[in-house]
Amino acid sequence: MRKLFACVVAATMAVTAAPTVAETPRDTLVMAFQIDDIITLDPAEIFEFSGAEYAGNTYDRLIGYDPKDVSNVFGVAAESWTISDDGKTYTFKMREGVTFASGNPMTAEDAAFSLQRAIILDKSPAFILTQFGFTPDNVADKIRATDEMTLVIETDQAYAPTFLLYCLTATISSIVDKKTVMANEKDGDLGHEWLRTNYAGVGPFKLRQWRPNESLLLDRNDDYWGGAPAMKRVIIRHIVEPSAQQLLLEKGDIDIARNLGPDQLDSVRSNGDLYVQVGVKGAIYYLGLSQKHEALSNPKVRQALKYLVDYKGMEGTIVRDLMSVHQAFLPRGFLGALEDTPFTLDVSKAKQLLAEAGYPDGFKVTMDTRNTSPIMDMAQSIQATFAQGGVDLEIIPGDGKQTLTKYRARNHDIYIGRWGPDYQDPHTNADTFARNPDNSDDAKSKPLAWRNSWDIPDMTQVANAAILERDPAKRAEMYLDIQKAHQATSPFVIMFQQAEVAGVRADTKGFIIGPAFDDNRYYDVTKN
């Protein structure tokens, strides 16, 4: 594998010293992308942006949706489904003739095993499935194959009709090859340790090699049921600096640059050999304020910090083209999204709130920050404006894995983060920003509210009620009310909604930037 990687990359790099523009192989897509957040390749554990994109291109789920119209839901591994009159039983008919990369046929038993396994392993994204009443003890009865091609799922309540369906489009619902996974099981781990660095799925591409913080290589699945993609191989190179990505793109050493900043994008637009591709994402950029920190647990301090961020200034400079101001937890485009932006940089108001809270001279606090652009640039801007209000902010940089691990352990003061919806139903963000059923350290569910130690029983009850409302208009009003209360009280400084932007070689077409990160697809990529 190392020899193959070296040969392919050499083919993309060999002519960089020549005065002419290099050219990547016609059958190979080469991208520069910050992939240091990949922690695992097991779909039952993947909960990071780059990992979700990997799974979206290598694993199928029961159903999917059109990235350009998420209301258009259709069968993928399942050809069709029905819902019982009481709204609690879903019956899926599997697609005939689908085989895994191993050659094993895909059956309803594989689908049942994949969902059961995710619930039993109980990794970070497990709540996406367990919220329907599934537990390790009952899942074998509630999610089962009734014959080779029929899967039955029984939920504990009659939820809003699209709620379960959208959850079945999430990364955790990817279907794995039961025979292959169980052949690599050790000590009852359901093959988890093996699948963290290996592959057992069916999708347009399959894993060849992952080198953490270095590269990810995918090979075409020539036997994919939907037809083999045009690209024989996908090479993703971990390139941190946007300027380095720009240079590689201009020289032709890569086909797509995924992390360009405003200055680099201006250069791309002025280059006839390149173009800019834009897609609106559901990702939200925010600050998480730990309620374990004495000052941050004060409601007036939390509100003060919301007035110490230069939202418009950053939107017009360091995150220009990449983000737009958004201050509610539901992204634009979701049912019930609140688009009010009540907070601006207002140092006088912030100082008044800090004084009322008992901190007239401010306080000291740290912020864990991923050491990539534009996150570091945002952190430095926030550091400067916090200082205007008397808040001494120390930035603690680290790579994606380091900062996430610390955040998930509730060992931070402030965390500057990005949250992408796991599915296209509004509960996906309400469930993490506005719901915390158990604030204890050993809680089963660990949403963002839990990570920031925010105990909210009343708001949790309202969020619980919203998923049972079957009238879309009434449901939208419920989410608007939750977001208004959240803006006024929460330990989240919600700042921006992402617009994902890529610089692309003119001969490269068909890359899809979808609303979720596992919707970024390579299947349709071609080169002229």
Instruction: Tell me what pLDDT residue 21 has.
Output: 62
Over residues 169-180, mean pLDDT: 97
| R_g (Cα) of the chain, nearest Å | 23
Task: Return the CATH number at 124.
Answer: 3.90.76.10
Q: What is the pLDDT of residues 319-350, one digit of tens each?
A: 999 999 999 999 998 989 999 999 999 999 99
Contacts of 70 (CB under 8 A, 6+ apart): 424, 515
Cis peptide before 421 (omega within 30 of 0): no
Which pLDDT band holds residue 38 (cuts at 50, 70, 90)? Answer: very high
Residue that is last in its domain, among 197, 218, 237: 197
Instruction: Tell me what pLDDT residue 68 has.
Output: 86
- Is the pLDDT at 4 greater than 80? The verdict is no
In contact, 46 and 517? CB cutoff 8 Å = no
For 308, half-sphere exposure in the C-beta direction (CA atoms, 13 angstrom radius) is 28
For 460, half-sphere exposure in the C-beta direction (CA atoms, 13 angstrom radius) is 16
Q: Is 184 exposed, middle or buried (0-12, 13-18, 19+ CB in 10 A)?
A: middle
Closest Cα partner for 130 from 89, 172, 169, 81?
172
Q: What does the alpha-carbon distance between residue 249 and residue 502 come to, in Å, rounded to a whole number?
A: 11
In contact, 112 and 139? CB cutoff 8 Å = no
67 in a structural domain: yes
Provide the domain limits for residue 70: 31-197
Closest Cα partner for 36 from 425, 402, 478, 448?
402
- Is the pLDDT at 129 greater than 80? The verdict is yes
Q: What does the alpha-carbon distance between residue 395 and residue 412 come to, in Å, rounded to a whole number?
A: 11
Residue that is last in its domain, among 163, 197, 231: 197
Amino acid at 186: K
Closest Cα partner for 42 from 33, 56, 53, 55?
55
146 in a structural domain: yes
In contact, 514 and 521? CB cutoff 8 Å = yes
Contacts of 128 (CB under 8 A, 6+ apart): 167, 170, 172, 173, 422, 423
- Is the pLDDT at 6 greater than 90? The verdict is no
Q: What does the alpha-carbon distance between residue 190 and residue 269 come to, in Å, rounded to a whole number?
A: 49
Closest Cα partner for 380 from 326, 321, 318?
318
pTM (2 decimals)? 0.79
- Is the pLDDT at 391 greater than 50? The verdict is yes
Q: What is the pLDDT of residues 267-285, one digit of tens each?
A: 999 999 999 999 988 999 9
- Is the pLDDT at 46 greater than 80? The verdict is yes
Higher pLDDT, 67 or 247: 247
459 and 361 in a common domain: yes
Q: Taking the CB of residue 126, how many other CB atoms lie within 10 A of it?
A: 22
292 and 176 in a common domain: no
403 in a structural domain: yes
251 in a structural domain: no
155 in a structural domain: yes
Backbone dihedral region for residue 382 (phi beyond 0: left; psi -120 to 50: alpha; all else: beta): alpha
63 and 166 in a common domain: yes
Which pLDDT band holds residue 23 (cuts at 50, 70, 90)? Answer: confident
Mapped onto helix, strand or coil, the DSSP state of residue 373 is coil
Domain count, the chain: 2
193 and 289 in a common domain: no
Residue that is last in its domain, among 170, 197, 224: 197
Average pLDDT, the chain: 94
In contact, 246 and 254? CB cutoff 8 Å = no
150 in a structural domain: yes
Instruction: Tell me what pLDDT residue 348 has.
Output: 98
492 in a structural domain: yes
Q: What is the pLDDT of residues 345-378, one digit of tens each?
A: 999 999 999 999 999 999 999 999 999 989 999 9
Q: What does the alpha-carbon distance between residue 508 and residue 321 come to, in Å, rounded to a whole number?
A: 21
69 in a structural domain: yes
The share of the chain scoring above pLDDT 90, in percent, equals: 90
In contact, 71 and 143? CB cutoff 8 Å = no
292 and 177 in a common domain: no
Mapped onto helix, strand or coil, the DSSP state of residue 501 is strand
Q: Read off the tokens for 247.
A: 């240079």
